[in-house]
């Protein structure tokens, strides 16, 4: 079983102590960095528009944006997989026809 480490992450000028499985530190730091960038973008955009949003609201909007991006990527991946499967099937059919001609 992997040992958990505690990492200190800074997101939107707040420190968070988070348990992390051994070996996943770099990924967690990258995720925190990405989340911080998204939250800062939302905070800056809202302040430019004259609105002051609380940290909780910024976090929810960032989470929704990230979830939307993830779902969009998964949908694209699914359509790519379907196209690859069709191409694979076409290749198999062509190879079957070729091998039938050799007999």
* pLDDT tens readout for residues 58-78: 999 999 999 999 999 999 998
- Helix (H) / strand (E) element for 5: namely strand 4-11
d(CA 17, CA 8): 4
Domains and CATH numbers, the chain: 4-102 (3.30.160.880)
pTM: 0.73
* pLDDT tens readout for residues 23-57: 999 999 999 999 999 999 999 999 888 888 999 99
Torsions phi, psi for 50 (to 5 deg): 85, 10
Residue 7's pLDDT band (cuts 50, 70, 90): very high
d(CA 101, CA 95): 10
When pLDDT is averaged across residues 3-28 and rounded to a whole number, the result is 94
Q: Which residues pair with 18 in a beta bridge?
A: 7
Is residue 20 pLDDT above 80, yes or no?
A: yes
């Amino acid at each position: 079983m992997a040992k958990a480490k505690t990492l200190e992450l800074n997101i939107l000028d707040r420190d968070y102590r988070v348990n992390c499985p051994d070996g996943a530190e770099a990924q967690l730091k990258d995720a925190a960095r990405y989340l911080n960038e998204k939250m800062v973008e939302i905070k800056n955009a809202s302040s430019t528009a004259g609105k002051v949003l609380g940290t909780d609201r910024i976090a929810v909007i960032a989470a929704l944006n990230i979830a939307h991006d993830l779902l969009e990527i998964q949908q694209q991946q699914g359509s790519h997989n379907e196209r690859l499967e069709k191409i694979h099937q076409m290749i198999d059919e062509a190879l079957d026809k070729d091998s039938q001609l050799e007999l």
